[in-house]
Structure 1
Amino acid sequence: MKTHVAKGDTVEVIAGNHKGKQGTVLSVNAAKGQVVVEGARVIKKAIRKSEENPDGGILEQDGPIAISNVKKI
């Protein structure tokens, strides 16, 4: 499936709660119609204790946005 944005493009969010934010595209999932934009939608995720994260805790990471809500700059 062809999309109007690709990994590494600079985009602006044009709709939704994160409207007006800009960033670079980290990944594109064309099958689901989603893109992950750096710094646009930061979500918090609880992490269990493991060898990589011995303390566990809360991790902040970038979440997906609908591909129709972004435009290429």
Structure 2
Amino acid sequence: MAAKIKKGDTVVVIAGRDKGTKGEVLKVLVDDNRVVVRGVNVVKKHQKPSQMDPGGLKSFEAPIHVSNVAHADPRDGKPVRVGFKTDEHGRKTRFAKRSGESIDV
């Protein structure tokens, strides 16, 4: 299966508490089918102090399921489905199905 969402992509959350939020993909967890998106699904965790860290209440982005995000269209930023085609050099590239613009730079 080809990877439709990669690290560094701009995505829109289409379901859940943060629906409508745009953000950059920070990490892709392939085995769990989850992604970590900047500013989305921010949770707080109580951290015990250690020698290196003073502890306290820490905020971080928790992973969300990949089915709850969609690529942001490069043209207007709305959620869009992704297709694949080969370019003139024979490389497989991703493109937005609605606008036809390339997602890979």
TM beyond 0.5 = yes
Where relative contact order (Cα < 8 A, 6+ residues apart) is larger, the structure is 1
SS at match of 2:70: strand
CA RMSD of aligned residues (A): 1.1
Alignment partners' CA distance in 2, 1:20 and 1:70: 10
1:21-60 aligned at under 5 Å gives the runs 21-54=21-54, 56-60=55-59
Counterpart AA for 2:56:
G
Aligned length: 72
Q: Which amino acid aligns with 1:4?
A: K
Larger Rg: 2
Percentage identity across aligned positions? 44
The runs of at least 4 aligned residues of structure 1 exceeding 2 Å deviation read none
TM-score by structure 1 length? 0.91
| Counterpart code for 1:59 | K
Instruction: Tell me the alpha carbon deviations over residues 1-31 of structure 1, each in whole angstroms, 9 at most, x when there is no partner.
Output: 5331000000000011110011000000111
Task: Kindly indicate whether residue 6 of structure 2 is the aligned counterpart of residue 6 of structure 1.
Answer: yes
Alignment TM-score, normalising by the size of structure 2:
0.65
Work out the CA distance in 1 between the residues paired with 2:50 and 2:63: 25
